[in-house]
Amino acid sequence: MSEMLLEVRGLKKYFRTPGGMLHAVDDVSFTIEAGKTLGIVGESGCGKSTLGRTVLGMLDATEGEIYFEGRDITQLRGHGKKALHRDMQIIFQDPYSSLNPRQCVFDLIAVPLKVYRECHGKDALHRRVTGLMETVGLAKRLAYAYPHELDGGRRQRVGIARALALNPKFIVCDEPVSALDVSIQAQVLNLLQDLQDEKGLTYIFVTHDLSVVRHISDDILVMYLGIAVEKSNTKELFKKPLHPYTKGILAAIPVPDIDVKRERVLLCGELTSPIEPKPGCRFANRCPHSEQACRLEEPVMEELLPGHFVACRRARDLNGI
Q: Using CB under 8 A as the criterion, which residues of the chain lie in contact with another protein when the complex forms?
A: 43-44, 151-154, 181-187, 189-190, 193, 208, 210-212, 214-216, 234-235, 238, 248-249, 251-258, 264, 266-268, 270-271
Question: What's the closest the beta carbon of residue 97 comes to another protein, in angstroms?
Answer: 17
Closer to another protein by CB, 60 or 181: give it. 181
Kindly state the smallest distance separating residue 214's Cβ from another protein, in Å: 5
Nearer to another protein, 46 or 161 (CB): 46
Closest separation in Å from C-beta 180 to another protein? 9
Comparing CB distances to another protein, the nearer of 86 and 286 is: 286
Q: In angstroms, what is the minimal distance from the CB of 233 to another protein? A: 10
Q: Which is nearer to another protein, 104 or 265 (by Cβ)? A: 265
Q: Measuring CA to CA, which residue among 242, 184, 177, 170 is closest to residue 210?
A: 177
112-140: b (≥16 Cβ within 10 Å) or e: bbeeeebbeeeeebeebbeebbebbbbee
Name the residue nearer to another protein (CB basis): 14 or 224: 224
Q: Rounded CA gap, 276 and 295, in Å? A: 15
| Between 78 and 256, CB nearer to another protein | 256
Task: Compute the least distance from the CB of residue 252 to another protein, in Å.
Answer: 4
Q: Which is nearer to another protein, 197 or 317 (CB)?
A: 197
- Min dist CB 43 to another protein, Å, is 4
- The minimum distance between CB 155 and another protein, in angstroms, equals 12
